[in-house]
Amino acid sequence: MENKKINKPKFNPYWIYGIVITVLLAMSMFGGDNNWQSISKTNISDFERFLNQEDVAEVVVINQKMARVTLTQNALEKSVHKVVKKENLIGQQNIQGPHYEFEVGNLELFQRKLEQAKDNGINFKYDFISVENRWMDVILGFLPIIIIIGIWIFLMRRMSGGAGGGAGGQIFNIGKSKAKLFDQNTDVKTTFKEVAGLEGAKEEIQEIVDFLKNPKKYTVLGGKIPKGALLVGLPGTGKTLLAKAVAGEAKVPFFSISGSDFVEMFVGVGASRVRDLFKQAKEKSPAIIFIDEIDAIGRARGKNNFTGSNDERENTLNQLLTEMDGFGTDTNVIVLAATNRADVLDKALMRAGRFDRQIYVDLPDLNERREIFKVHLKPLKSIKTLDVEFLAKQTPGFSGADIANVCNEAALIAARKNKKSVGKQDFLDAVDRIVGGLEKKHKIITPGEKKTIAYHEAGHATVSWLLEHAAPLVKVTIVPRGQSLGAAWYLPEERMIVRTEQILDEICAALGGRAAEKLIFNQISTGALSDLEKVTRQARSIVSVYGLNDAIGNLTYYDSTGQSENSFNKPYSEKTAQIIDEEISNIIETQYKRACDLLKKNKSKLTQLAERLLEKEVIFKDDLSNILGKRPFDDDQNPGKSGDNLEIEVAVK
C-alpha cells in the first residue's frame, strides 16, 4: 500500500502576530468590570417604568454617562424581562446582573429622579462610580514602542527584498541567495528548437549541456568540464533566451539570478548571497548557475573609485572570483553569464579557469532572420502566400527581439484595419512604424516647408541612385513620421569589410539633401541635422578609427577594451587633434561639393522627382527608375543581400 502524505499546515509566524492582536483587542473590548456579561440595551423611560414597578434592585452610574441596572429576582421571572436571561459569551445565563444599560443624559435630572423614587418608598440602591480600562491604558502607554517596532520590521522586510525563507523570515535571511531554481519539477517550456538562428552560439551552448549530462564522456580522456561560459552580444540578440533553453534542455537544477540582485545597501550582503548561491548549487550538483547582466557586479575594479562607493560591489566581485576558481572540477557546477558590455568586465573574471568560453551572439544574418520569422509567425493568422524570404530581406540589422516586435506590430495593424489575416503590407507598415515612428498625417506644415522637404528627400534619392557604393533606395516619403518631417529608406548591402570609397559614397549620399536645398533655394536649413550627425561620425571613423586617412597614416585611436571611456586624457597630442579636425572637415566638404556637382548635372531629374513627391507624398524604387533610368550598379543576381542596418535619412526640425 502506498503511504499517503498528510499535508500538515505549515507554521506561519504571522499566526503569532494574529493571536497577540486578538488578545489585545479582546482585553480592550472586555477590559472593564462585568463586560463579560450579556447586557441588554434600554432607555430612560423604560427604566422609570421598571423603577415604579419595583423591579429594580440596583442602579450604578458609570463615569457619569452610562447607567447599568440590576433587576430583582422576582422581576427576572416576568416575561417582559426574559431577554436579559440570555446566555453570555461563555454560555452562562445572566442572573447576577447587571441586566440593562442606558445613557443617563442630564446627570443632575437623573439623580433627582432617583432621589424622588427613594422618597416615594421604592426600595433600591444606586451609586456613582468611575471605571478605567487598565488594559487599554497599558496598550496606549506602549503604543509608541509598538509603532517603532512595526516600522522597523516593515523596513527590514522591504530592504531584504523577499530573500529566501518563509514569510516573516526575510529579516534573518537577507544574506540568502535570491536565485530562482528551475529543475525537473519546474515547467520550463523553452527548448533549443524554439531558438531560431544563432547556430554557432547554440552549438557551443549545447556542448555545455552535454557536459553535464555525460561528464564521463569527457573526463575519461583527461578533459575537465569548463567552469563557465560568457554570452556576449547586443541587446535583443537572444542571450537570455539561450539560457532559458539550457534550463529546459539540461534536466539539471538551473539557478537563475540577475547581477543587480547581489547589490544591496547593507555591507557584505552581496558576498553573502554569492556564497549561499554556490552552496546551493554544490548541494544539487550537477547544476547550472545563470547570472544575467553580470556587468552590474563584474565591472573592472579600481576604476574611478574616488569615494570608495564601490567597495561593496568589489567585495561581491571578489567573492564571485573566489567561488568560481575555488570549487573542484568534480562538483559539476557550470556558471553561465550574459552581458552586452563585455568590454567593462574585470580581466580577472574573463581569464581561463573562470569563464573558459566566450560565446558571441551576433545579430542574425539573412538566413537566421528567415528562421526567426518562421518561429514568430506560427501564432499569427497570416496569409498563405506570405513571402518569409522577402520579410527577412526587408529587416537587415534587426535582432530577434526586433523581429518579434515586427510580427506583433503587424498583427496589431491588421487588427486595427479589421482584417481577418496579417498580410505583406501589414509587415511593411510595421517595419516603417518601428524604424521611422508613427505617421503624423495631420501635422501642420506650410507649403514652403513641404517643398523644402520634398527637394531635400529627392536630393538624397538622386545622389544615392547615381553612386555605385551608396545603399539602394527602398522608399522616399515626405509624410511626417516620429520626429522627422520626411524620410528615405535604404537597404544597405552586407559587407564584411568596408573600403574608403564605399564610406565616401555613403557620406556623399547623406549630404545630397542639403546639397539639393542649396541648389534649388540657394539656402540651407536645419533639416539636415541627422545627416550631419551621421557623416561626421563616418568621417571621424575614417580618420581616427580605421586608419584610412593619409594625413594620419596607419594609426587608430580606438580602444576596444573600453578602459579609456572615462579617461580625461586624449591618446593624441593637440597637433594631432588639429589635424584630425581638419581632415574630417576636408572629407565632408569634398563630398558635399561632389553631391552639389551631381545634382547640377541632373537638376531636371531632381525637379521631376521632387514634383512627384509633392504629388504622391510617397514614392518607391520604380518611380526613381522611371525618372532617373535604370540604376547601372544594381546586382540582379543578388537581390537579397542585407546590411548592417535598415538606414533612414530623415529631415528633422
Distance of CA 520 to the CA centre of its chain: 49
Q: Got the DSSP string for 223-259?
A: ----SEEEEEE-TTSSHHHHHHHHHHHH-S-EEEEEG
Residue 359 CA to residue 108 CA, distance in Å, equals 93
Catalytic residue positions?
457
CA distance 451 to 651: 12
Alpha carbon distance 448, 65 (integer Å): 87
Chain centroid to Cα 550, Å, comes to 47
Bridge-based pairing of strands 56-62 and 66-71 is: antiparallel
Longest CA pairwise span in the chain (Å) = 131
Quickly count: other Cβ atoms within 10 Å of residue 431's Cβ: 22
Q: Is the dihedral of CA 615, 617, 622, 626 positive or negative?
A: positive
- Measured CA to CA in angstroms, residue 32 lies from 21, 130, 137 at distances of 18, 11, 12
> What does R_g of the chain's alpha carbons equal in angstroms?
41
Parallel, antiparallel or unpaired: strands 473-477 and 228-233? unpaired
Which residue, chain included where needed, has cell 547640377? Answer: 600
* Host H or E run for residue 102: strand 100-103
Strands (E), 341-465: 357-361
Q: Which of 296, 298, 278 lies closest to 288 in space, CA to CA? A: 278
